[in-house]
A and B are shown apart, each in its own frame.
Chain A
Amino acid sequence: MTVGAVIFMGLTWAGVLGLTAFCFWKVLFPGRKGRRGRGGRKG
């Protein structure tokens, strides 16, 4: 594989894996709600 192919594949795969991991982390371990509307329900 060329260096260009390794860089593009590596960056894209890492980006997608990182984003998916971040999202599932937040879904499975929800922290304090980021922003609420007025009178937001108890999280």
Chain B
Amino acid sequence: MSHSPAPRESWGTRIGLIFAAAGNAVGIGNLLRFPGQAATHGGGAFMIPYVVSLLLFGLPMMWVAWTVGRLGGRWGHGTIPGIFDRMTGGKPWAKYAGVIGVALPMVFIIYYAYIEAWCLAYSWFSLKGTYVGDGKHVVDLAVFLDEFLGMAPTHNYFSGVGVALLFFLVTLALNVWILYRGVSGGIELLAKIAIPLLLLFCLVLGVRVLTLGTIESSVLDGLNFLWNPDFKALLDFDVWLAAAGQIFFTLSIGFGSLEVFGSYLREHDDIALTGLTTASVNEFVEVIFGSMIAIPAAAVYFGVERVPEIASAGTYAIGMVSMPEILRGIGGVHLFGSLWFLLLFFAAFTSSVAIGQVVMSFLQDEARLSRASSAGIVGAFWLLGAFPVVFLYRYGALDEMDFWSGTIGLVVFAIFEIVIFAWIWGIDRGWKELHKGAEIAVPAFFKPIMKWVTPPLLVVIFVTWFMGAILSDSLVPRPTLHFGIEGRAEIHGSFSHHAPAEGDPDRAEFQRIEDHLRQVVDQAGHDLRGWLQVTIHPSAPVVVAGFAGDPALLERVRPAELQRWLQLQHLAWTPPPGEPAHSLQVTIAFEGRYRKTAIWITRVTMLAFVFTFGLMTWAIWRRRAAEAEGGAA
């Protein structure tokens, strides 16, 4: 017996919808990824490929997503399998292609919520002053982060991933609770609170950074570093690719969340202006606040000459190592540290619930489940997927998920969407649909762009990213090598090390040793651990005095080889100010991680989600066909 599905949810207010859509788009990347990318890709000149990418596929895809979503909502579908099915006139492949528009958001929120949980945890650590130190001992923030995530081979500050797991569970519960409350009572309400708070926190931190004065450099030096245009960078294809990637990630294109948001609109509710407003709020936070906080603060505190190293260390290093160090140095960890990490948390939280709503909508609209059951299933999937993310993080599980779902998957989804919209559904129909009830007329030149420019451009991005991964050999899970100082928390002074860069005469020897160590781990087929007794002096190379550990390691690796490996990384210890230089005896924990098993577990987990949603799609359409036959009879 067939039964009518429950009426679909809807937005409470237009401003609530815009805040929710902006919350979806504004994420950690706006505040950390953008300044890092701009700083390392031509400074002010980066804005040229950035704006070009915004015009050629950022805004077109934004409007396409809203149009596709509102169209789907009219047919009772909020997610891509149902929408693609209708847009292609029931082509069997279309709904299965649309499965990636549900499975990939599910995978994405699993690991994104973990990053969100770090922000929540660090906000708590800031409030408590956990990483401030006691005056005698300075907490090494890089080690602190690595141990918090179980990445380090040592246990100076955390005994395992228990604390990270606890914050992950809290974050997960908050997300599921918001999803359970629904579109208007959950996501929209959260956005109405979180977005103004986010803007307020940005403003407070921005003013604080701009009034830092001069420490190692001035704020203006920092802004100059970020905005001074290096036009030669425009000749580098990588700069254009980086700008395209930034536009892709920042606007949340290819997640299916804008579509699901659009599906809760009525036929003549405006989407042209809503799409543009969403993009503009996102750009406001990214370009203005993103460029005002992290990089200028780093320039002031560390000196402008160290900014390239900090910017190229990656998004997490800027946000979770450099920023806490700056805040600790300038004072005000408790207030500004908490605000900074709460800001990142809110930015991530509004994004994860938006993307989580994709899976909710699939379960509610297509599987006809209640909101409570859907939230329960999403929570259960989330928890299942959390296993590799939390426990296999040290093997690169999160990066693996990010590559397939948060990078390659997004582009594949976007390619399907633009081709179906502009070529199968038809650009003329699509353009007309976009303008139904529109407050603004989208400039006519976007119409040929949507049909002729955006699709090939997305294909180029896909091919370049995928080929880049193949050529750099990053799809093969090779072992990784790590070391850490035992008893670090009790040792005064600071440690530093850096691997020889490209062009360094030591580079070839360093790589030869690393290749041999990796080969030993691969042949052992499991992680190899060792402990080195070393003598370290501020002005002399490190010397290994003793070596113990896994028999497979002792048998095939000589202590002299590990000693040279550490020397080539320029492992150094600097005593605290006022303490004379002297030798230090320390134990170094070494770990060679065998990654194949962990990475394949992660890949199988992702495939399991694709298979599960694919199977559900097959069963749902089969049931519908049977119901239609029953109705006809």
Task: Say whether B435 contacts A35, CB under 8 Å.
Answer: yes
**Shortest beta-carbon distance from A36 to chain B in Å:** 6
Question: Chain A contacts of B441 at CB under 8 A?
Answer: 34-35
Question: Chain B contacts of A17 at CB under 8 A?
Answer: 284, 288
| Per-position 1/0 for A24-43, Cβ under 8 A of B | 10111011011111001101
User: Which residues 13-31 of A have a CB within 8 angstroms of B?
Assistant: 13, 16-17, 19-20, 22-24, 26-28, 30-31
Question: Chain A contacts of B435 at CB under 8 A?
Answer: 34-35, 37
The stretch of B40-48, B112-120, B453-461 that contacts the partner chain: B40-48
User: What are 10 inter-chain pairs, A to B, with CB distance below 8 A?
Assistant: A1-B223, A8-B229, A9-B227, A20-B284, A27-B18, A27-B277, A27-B439, A30-B439, A34-B435, A37-B437
Task: Say whether B288 contacts A31, CB under 8 Å.
Answer: no
B440 at the interface (CB under 8 A from A): yes
Question: Chain B contacts of A35 at CB under 8 A?
Answer: 435-436, 438, 441
Task: Say whether A16 contacts B283, CB under 8 Å.
Answer: yes
Contacts A13-B288, A16-B283, A37-B437 given; does A8 touch B47 at CB 8 Å? yes
User: Which residues 223-263 of B have a CB within 8 angstroms of A?
Assistant: 223-224, 226-229
Report the bound CA distance from A27 to B270 in whole Å.
Answer: 10
B281 at the interface (CB under 8 A from A): yes
**Shortest beta-carbon distance from B378 to chain A in Å:** 31
Question: Chain A contacts of B439 at CB under 8 A?
Answer: 26-27, 30-31, 33-34
Task: Say whether B44 contacts A4, CB under 8 Å.
Answer: yes
Task: Say whether B44 contacts A37, CB under 8 Å.
Answer: no
**Shortest beta-carbon distance from A41 to chain B in Å:** 5
Report the bound CA distance from A2 to B220 in whole Å.
Answer: 10
Task: Say whether A5 contacts B287, CB under 8 Å.
Answer: no
| Per-position 1/0 for B256-288, Cβ under 8 A of A | 000000000011101011001100110110011
Question: Chain A contacts of B432 at CB under 8 A?
Answer: 37
Task: Say whether B268 contacts A24, CB under 8 Å.
Answer: no
B15 at the interface (CB under 8 A from A): yes
Report the bound CA distance from A20 to B283 in whole Å.
Answer: 9
Question: Chain A contacts of B224 at CB under 8 A?
Answer: 1-2, 5
Contact partner, A40, options B223, B268, B287, Cβ 8 Å: B268
B14 at the interface (CB under 8 A from A): yes
Report the bound CA distance from A22 to B18 in whole Å.
Answer: 14
Instruction: Name B's A-contacting residues (CB within 8 A).
Output: 14-15, 18, 43-45, 47, 220, 223-224, 226-229, 266-268, 270, 272-273, 276-277, 280-281, 283-284, 287-288, 291, 432-433, 435-441
Query: B218: nearest residue on chain A (CB-CB)?
Result: A1
Report the bound CA distance from A40 to B538 in whole Å.
Answer: 77
In terms of DSSP, what is the predominant structure of the interface of chain B? helix
Task: With a 10 A CB-CB cut-off, give which of A1, A2, A24, A30 has the most chain B CB atoms.
Answer: A1
**Shortest beta-carbon distance from B566 to chain A in Å:** 41
Contacts A8-B44, A31-B439 given; does A37 touch B268 at CB 8 Å? yes
Question: Chain A contacts of B288 at CB under 8 A?
Answer: 13, 16-17
The 5 closest A-B pairs by CB, nearest first: A8-B44, A23-B277, A5-B227, A37-B436, A5-B228
Question: Chain B contacts of A8 at CB under 8 A?
Answer: 43-45, 47, 227-229
Contact partner, B14, options A1, A5, A27, A36, Cβ 8 Å: A27
**Shortest beta-carbon distance from A13 to chain B in Å:** 6
Report the bound CA distance from A35 to B437 in whole Å.
Answer: 6
Question: Chain B contacts of A5 at CB under 8 A?
Answer: 43-44, 223-224, 226-229
Question: Chain B contacts of A2 at CB under 8 A?
Answer: 224, 228
Query: A3: nearest residue on chain B (CB-CB)?
Result: B228
Report the bound CA distance from A9 to B283 in whole Å.
Answer: 13
Question: Chain B contacts of A4 at CB under 8 A?
Answer: 44, 227-229
Question: Chain B contacts of A41 at CB under 8 A?
Answer: 266-268, 437
Query: B274: nearest residue on chain A (CB-CB)?
Result: A27
Question: Chain B contacts of A33 at CB under 8 A?
Answer: 270, 437-439
Report the bound CA distance from A23 to B288 in whole Å.
Answer: 17
Question: Chain A contacts of B267 at CB under 8 A?
Answer: 37, 41
Report the bound CA distance from A24 to B272 in whole Å.
Answer: 13
Report the bound CA distance from A33 to B441 in whole Å.
Answer: 10
Question: Chain A contacts of B270 at CB under 8 A?
Answer: 33
Report the bound CA distance from A30 to B281 in whole Å.
Answer: 18
Given contacts A1-B224, A4-B228, A36-B437, 5 further A-B contacts (CB under 8 A): A5-B229, A9-B226, A34-B439, A37-B437, A41-B268
Report the bound CA distance from A37 to B224 in whole Å.
Answer: 49
**Shortest beta-carbon distance from A15 to chain B in Å:** 8
Report the bound CA distance from A27 to B14 in whole Å.
Answer: 8
Question: Chain A contacts of B272 at CB under 8 A?
Answer: 34
Question: Chain A contacts of B43 at CB under 8 A?
Answer: 5, 8
Task: Say whether B440 contacts A26, CB under 8 Å.
Answer: yes
Report the bound CA distance from A28 to B273 in whole Å.
Answer: 11
Report the bound CA distance from A6 to B43 in whole Å.
Answer: 12
Task: Say whether B228 contacts A43, CB under 8 Å.
Answer: no
Question: Chain A contacts of B276 at CB under 8 A?
Answer: 19, 23
Report the bound CA distance from A17 to B427 in whole Å.
Answer: 31
Report the bound CA distance from A30 to B15 in whole Å.
Answer: 12
Task: Say whether A40 contacts B280, CB under 8 Å.
Answer: no
**Shortest beta-carbon distance from A26 to chain B in Å:** 5
Question: Chain A contacts of B18 at CB under 8 A?
Answer: 27
Query: B14: nearest residue on chain A (CB-CB)?
Result: A27
Question: Chain A contacts of B266 at CB under 8 A?
Answer: 41
